[in-house]
Structures are given as C-alpha cells and as structure tokens.
C-alpha cells in the first residue's frame, strides 16, 4: 500500500507540473486550450513543453522535440487529451506514436468534436497505455474558458465590478475613481490579460470614458466591446486611441448617420433588442463566430443586471473597497426583480482574496437558481 501511495503522489506531482506549464500560456493561446506536457523516464523529467498560439506547436510536440530519442519508453503527462486532427499543425497523437512513448497520463478529455476521446482511443489502439483523471478538477478549472466555449458554443463570461462595501460603484454625482486601491486595480489588469474581450455598456463609456487597456504586454490583442443600442458612443472616446479592435453592438433601428460615422472607427453589428436592452444570445453568438472564447464584462449596472438575469454569466469577480456611500450612490447591479430570497441568484465555489485593505470575491453562478434563458 505504501508503494501505491508513493506512486500516486509521484504521478500527481508530474501532472501538477504539466498544469503549471500550461498556465504559462494564459492570455497567449486563445482560441486554443492551455496545455502543458511533461516527459518522464525512470522517475526523471527529460523534457517539458507548453503551447503558445503564435508559435503553433502544441505542448506535446514541443516536449517530444526537446526529448529527442529519450522520448522512447517514456511517460507523457498532459492536462488535456492530445489532438487527432489536422489543424495548423499535424495531429499530436501521431507524433506521440512515432516517438514510441510508452505511457500517457491525461487529466481531462477534450470535448472538441474533432477530438472527444479519439486521441485516447488511437493511443490505446497503438498499444500505448493511457491513464485518465489525474488532477481532473484542477485541469477543468485551468481550461474553464475553452471547455465552456467548445461545449456551449459561446464565450465564457466573467462579470467584474469594483464596489464599496454597500454595493455602490459610484457616488450620486457619478464619482467612481478610485473605490479600490492600487493592488486591486493591478488584479483587474491581470484578469483583463486572461480574457479575449472586455465589454462595457455605453453609459459606462459616457460616464468614465475608459481606455480599457491591458497594462501587461500580450501577443493577442484585446478586443473591446460596447453595447450601444442607439449609437451614442463618441467618435473621440479613449478606447479608439489604441490599435485594439473595437466592436459595437447596436439596435436594428440605430441612426444610419451615426452608424456610418462609427463604422470608420469600429466594427458595428446590429442585433435585436427590447426597451434599449440588446439580445445577449445574439451578442454572444456573434462573438463566438469571431472565435472570442472568453468575455469580461466591466459595467455598468444595467448591463450587469441583464447579463445575470438572462443566464449569460458563468463567473463573478467583485472587488470591494472599505468605503460606505449610502443610498444616494449608484448600485453596481440594477434591479433583478427578486422579490423573495429563494429567487436570488446563488453563487458557488466562493473564494475571498485580501488585496491590501480591499478584498476580492470570486465565485461561479449557480445556474440552478436562474430561470431558463
């Protein structure tokens, strides 16, 4: 029994290393998944690799090329099932077979219909031992954006808000800078780095004129998205000053002249809407067609409420500063129509993070508490 426990601990350590390597690709792999690879022979790591979109080669190929002849008879640890289809690169499964790897440990299967168990089946058919499920939970969280996108055909959505302790995003006069301190704002930029696109409503744009920049250098440019049913976006808004792509969703009845003017600055897409609120399903479907796998909503209150009510939000990250504004302040989320506590949107997997006087709350939206959208 002691030997089995020791063996499990060793396998666990190598898979955690693969997951750590995969994490180095955060912000640099979309629309592909985060993947790390570790090749082990006689208890020793002989090669490692991780995927970066601009460098094309998948993690397992990077590790195999670094290992050379040492790959023969080795064990390969992967946080995600290897691919079997021709994409920008040849199938990784073929390279694993050619390298004569003896064992492959896979944390989680890839739900992509082009893979979906085919990689594991091909390896086993070639006489390679495959072991599944090691560090599965951690591997799922690592690739939650990719897995959601593949399975639901729409971007994984995070709702981010910065609020006072009583849930206000600004004073009654509209002042909002700064509710939280430098460390919390740095954490926001880290989140922006992880997501393909940032979205705000036009009211936030008019009130704050945000640039929506990402302070960290990233190879994939961030896409800035605005919900603006009547095209009130100013052509001189700060977010137009960078080279990042801007997409504006507007109503089907948006003024033609404004449409023509803003079309010179951004990609404009008409979607259906009701009472000034645009159809979230159409918005996310358009973003999915552009291979935007993840979206971070940064306000405002009406946008936050409509996204939550329609079940479009998978995760929330709220930052709280140690301030109280009171009833005259602007609420972070508009009326959700909740009349009884049983109707409130429930959260799961809640985590708290202290940020030098401020604190962050991260959680997943419990879809069982939402009405079908």
Residues forming the active site: 60
Per-residue tokens: 372: 């079908």
Per-residue tokens: 42: 């006689």
280 close to 307: Cβ distance less than 8 angstroms = yes
Residue pointed to by tokens 């399903």: 281
Name, in order, each residue with C-beta under 8 angstroms of 127's C-beta and a sequence gap of 6 or more: none
Residue 214 per-residue DSSP state: -
How far is it, in rounded angstroms, from Cα 284 to Cα 158? 13
Q: Report the sign of the C-alpha dihedral through residues 128, 95, 67, 45, in that order.
A: negative
Maximum pairwise Cα distance, the chain = 75
Per-residue tokens: 172: 């009654």
39 close to 70: Cβ distance less than 8 angstroms = yes
Query: Using CB atoms within 10 A of its CB, is residue 176 exposed (0-12), middle (13-18) or buried (19+)?
Result: buried
34 close to 142: Cβ distance less than 8 angstroms = yes
Rounded to 10 degrees, what is the CA torsion of 108, 110, 115, 120? Answer: 0
Residues forming beta bridges with residue 358, ordered by sequence position: 355
How far is it, in rounded angstroms, from Cα 1 to Cα 171? 62
Per-residue tokens: 15: 């898979």
Q: Report the sign of the C-alpha dihedral through residues 22, 23, 26, 28, in that order.
A: negative
Name, in order, each residue with C-beta under 8 angstroms of 86's C-beta and a sequence gap of 6 or more: none
Q: For residue 51, which phi and psi values (nearest 5 degrees)?
A: -90, 140
Per-residue tokens: 67: 């290992």
How far is it, in rounded angstroms, from Cα 274 to Cα 148? 27
């Amino acid at each position: 029994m002691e030997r089995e426990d020791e063996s499990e601990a060793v396998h666990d350590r190598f898979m955690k290393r693969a997951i750590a390597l995969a994490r180095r690709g955060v912000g640099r792999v979309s629309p592909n998944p985060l993947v790390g690879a570790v090749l082990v022979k006689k208890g020793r790591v002989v090669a490692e690799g991780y995927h970066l979109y601009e460098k094309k080669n998948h993690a397992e190929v990077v590790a195999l090329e670094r290992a050379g002849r040492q790959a023969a008879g080795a064990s390969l640890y992967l946080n995600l099932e290897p691919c079997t289809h021709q994409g920008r690169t040849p199938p990784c499964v073929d390279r694993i077979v050619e390298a004569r790897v003896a064992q492959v440990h896979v944390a989680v299967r890839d739900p992509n219909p082009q893979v979906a168990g085919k990689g594991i089946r091909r390896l086993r058919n070639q006489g390679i031992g495959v072991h599944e499920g090691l560090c599965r939970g951690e591997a799922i969280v690592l690739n939650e954006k990719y897995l959601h996108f593949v399975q639901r055909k729409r971007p994984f959505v995070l709702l981010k808000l910065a609020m006072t302790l009583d849930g206000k995003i600004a004073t009654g006069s509209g002042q909002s800078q700064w509710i939280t301190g430098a460390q919390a704002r740095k954490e926001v930029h880290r989140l922006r780095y992880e997501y393909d696109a940032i979205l705000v409503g036009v009211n936030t744009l008019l009130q704050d004129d945000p640039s929506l920049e990402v302070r960290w250098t990233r190879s994939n440019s961030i896409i800035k998205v605005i919900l603006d049913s009547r095209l009130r976006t100013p052509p001189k808004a700060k977010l137009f000053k960078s080279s990042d792509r801007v997409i504006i969703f507007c109503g089907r009845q948006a003024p033609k002249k404004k449409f023509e003017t803003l079309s010179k600055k951004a990609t404009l897409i008409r979607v259906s809407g009701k009472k000034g609120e645009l159809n979230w399903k159409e918005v996310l479907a358009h973003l999915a067609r552009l291979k935007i796998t993840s979206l971070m909503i940064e306000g405002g209150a009406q946008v936050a409420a409509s996204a939550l009510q329609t079940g479009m939000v998978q995760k929330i990250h709220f930052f709280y500063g140690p301030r109280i504004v009171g009833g005259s302040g602007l609420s972070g989320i508009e009326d959700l129509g909740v009349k009884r506590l049983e109707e409130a949107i429930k959260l799961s997997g809640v985590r708290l993070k202290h940020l030098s006087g401020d604190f962050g709350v991260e959680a997943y939206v419990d879809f069982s508490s939402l009405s079908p959208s």
